[in-house]
Amino acid sequence: MLASFFHITIDELLGYRPQLTEKEIWEAYQKFTQLFTQESFWNVIEKVRDLIRKYDACYPLFLAMAQLLLNHCNLASSGEERELILKEAQELCVRVQKESEDTLLKKDAIVFEGFLSIMKREPERVLELFGEKLHPRISSEILLVSAYSLLGEKKKALEYCQALLYEGTVEMMDFLANYLSLCEDDKKELCFSSVRGMEAAFSLKSLLPHKMIHLYMMEAVYYGEQKNRGKTLKALYDYGETLQKNWKDFTIHGDAFFDLLEQWIQEVEIRREMPRNMQFIREDIIRSVKENPVFDFLKEEKEFRILIKRLENLQIEERD
């Protein structure tokens, strides 16, 4: 009676605010990534906004949509529109921090807001979120490994140890990429050597191809700026080889060394797929070689033309 009198639903009267499951959130994310290839950018953005309005207290959805906006903001037609999208993503993170009661989710929102602040070139906000000093980290995760070992659950201890090694390897490659962008030239060759050592130790071309192609491109650009033909072509060759071997599968997976990783991935329900539509990722990957002016001095080189042809053939095979 009260609900009909005030022209509201029973759910609204009781204060119920609908939620989506983690599976439903990921399905919505995947649907939107596909829609970006089929509809206009702003049509898709409006659909994202509609979903957020419909589930206005589903805070895991907020974070997922913030990631979606970040990963596709470059599809905006201008710098101003891109900034608007990043601002919307940032506001979603702030809402999670203020309104959610989930401590872990709030922590993730803080980290993601920090990342968005870097993208928006707001370093002061990052320092406000995390403080101005880097303190030594105390890893609580390794205690889980020790605890399961003491309980006699050796397989679980090994599984978690592998997961930590995997995450540490991913983090190391990210740190090396950051360090390469900051360090002086006399350190860069040492960094490139370290990258190749890590690749050899853990077969990273297969395990983390998305990280390796980024680092190979950084190496190719560095030597390309020096007009070093041999080292530029070597880095580009490794770039192309890594792409060719993993063109259809950039998903998270284990290997012969990380043979227990699959169980951990399933246990914590990590999403294996890339957070952007693979069509956009592949187009960017090829464009970074074909349209990069730093490689203009190689355009008449046979090896460079062969590389471009290999990349173009990968696109043709995908369409077929």
Per the model's pLDDT, the better-predicted residue between 16 and 67 turns out to be: 67
Q: Of the ranges 45-59, 126-140, 274-288, which is most confident?
A: 45-59
Q: Which of 108-117, 139-148, 175-184, 193-202 has the lowest mean pLDDT?
A: 139-148
pLDDT over 60 at 319, yes or no: no
Q: What is the mean pLDDT of the chain?
A: 87
**Interval 201-224: pLDDT, tens:** 999 999 999 899 999 999 999 999
| Distance, CA of 222 to CA of 215 (rounded, Å) | 11
pTM: 0.79
**CA nearest to 254, candidates 239, 238, 277, 270:** 270
pLDDT over 50 at 171, yes or no: yes
For 258-287, b where at least 16 C-beta lie within 10 A, e where not — what string? bebbebbbeeeeeeeeeebbbebebeebee
pLDDT over 60 at 101, yes or no: yes
Please give, one letter per residue, the 3-state secondary structure of the chain: CHHHHCCCCHHHHCCCCCCCCHHHHHHHHHHHHHHCCCCCHHHHHHHHHHHHHHCCCCHHHHHHHHHHHHHHHHHCCCHHHHHHHHHHHHHHHHHHHHHCCCHHHHHHHHHHHHHHHHHCCCHHHHHHHHCCCCCCCCCCHHHHHHHHHHCCCHHHHHHHHHHHHHHHHHHHHHHHHHHHHHCCHHHHHHHHHHHHHHHHHHCHHHHCHHHHHHHHHHHHHHHHHCCCHHHHHHHHHHHHHHHHHHCCCCCCCCCCCCCCHHHHHHHHCCCCCCCCCHHHHHHHHHHHHHCCHHHHHHCCCHHHHHHHHHHHHHHHHHHC
Share of the chain above pLDDT 90, in %: 67
Average pLDDT over residues 270-281: 63
pLDDT of res. 4: 45
pLDDT of res. 229: 95
Average pLDDT over residues 9-21: 59
Collect contacts of 80-86 with beta carbons under 8 A, ≥24 apart. 83/120, 85/45, 86/116, 86/119, 86/120
pLDDT of res. 269: 61
pLDDT of res. 248: 74
Band (12; pLDDT cuts 50, 70, 90): very low
Per the model's pLDDT, the better-predicted residue between 265 and 15 turns out to be: 265
Band (293; pLDDT cuts 50, 70, 90): very high
Separation of first and last alpha carbons in the chain: 60
pLDDT of res. 60: 93
**Interval 114-169: pLDDT, tens:** 999 999 999 999 999 998 888 777 778 889 999 999 999 999 999 999 999 999 99
In the chain, where are the structural domains located? 2-130, 151-319
| Distance, CA of 170 to CA of 212 (rounded, Å) | 10
**CA nearest to 255, candidates 215, 199, 213, 216:** 199
| Distance, CA of 182 to CA of 260 (rounded, Å) | 35
pLDDT over 50 at 179, yes or no: yes
**Interval 70-91: pLDDT, tens:** 989 989 999 999 999 999 999 9
| Distance, CA of 215 to CA of 211 (rounded, Å) | 6
pLDDT over 50 at 2, yes or no: no
